[in-house]
């Protein structure tokens, strides 16, 4: 018969898994509503940033965003980190384009009207930054 064999790597595997669980985290932040009034000039949100030391020294894995526009409205939207900006494809989504950048740096939404569009307010600005 086959006897049970003890896995010698089990303590190492458990240590590695628990270390990975502690290394990952996230922060969530909201910004006040923003008035967007010009086609050729971006409106920039208040900074969205972590409010604790947990993200210090960590890097972004992915960022989830959302914002709300009046029905039928569209804007040119970007999410910016001091290390670069990423165009946003819609009112909500997820991107890995900022992966590897500092997780404790502030993010800002940037919006511009499209040609022929009336001024509007963008509400419900929120990001969730998952870091490692």
pLDDT in tens, 55-89: 999 999 999 999 999 999 999 999 999 999 999 99
pTM of the predicted protein model:
0.81
3-state secondary structure the chain: CCCCCCCCCHHHHHHHHHHHHHHCEEEEEEECCEEECCCCCCEECCCECCCCCCCCCCEEEEEEEEEECCCCCCEEEEEEECCEEEECCCCEEEECCCCCCECCCCEEEEEEECCCCCCEEEEEEEEEEEEC
Return the CATH number of the domain spanning residue range 24-131.
2.60.120.260
Domain boundaries, the chain: 24-131
pLDDT in tens, 89-113: 999 999 999 999 999 999 999 999 9
């Amino acid at each position: 018969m086959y006897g049970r064999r003890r896995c010698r790597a089990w303590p190492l595997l458990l240590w590695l898994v628990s270390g990975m669980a502690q290394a990952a985290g996230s922060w969530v932040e909201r910004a006040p509503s923003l008035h967007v009034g010009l086609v050729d000039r971006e409106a920039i949100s208040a900074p969205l940033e972590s409010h604790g030391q947990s993200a210090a020294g960590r890097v972004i894995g992915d960022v989830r965003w959302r914002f709300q526009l009046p029905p039928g409205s569209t804007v040119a939207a970007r999410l910016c980190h001091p290390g670069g900006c990423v165009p946003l494809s819609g009112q909500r989504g997820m991107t890995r384009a900022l992966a590897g950048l500092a997780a404790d740096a502030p993010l800002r939404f940037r919006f511009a009207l499209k040609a022929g569009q009336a001024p509007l307010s963008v509400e419900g600005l929120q990001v969730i930054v998952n870091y490692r």
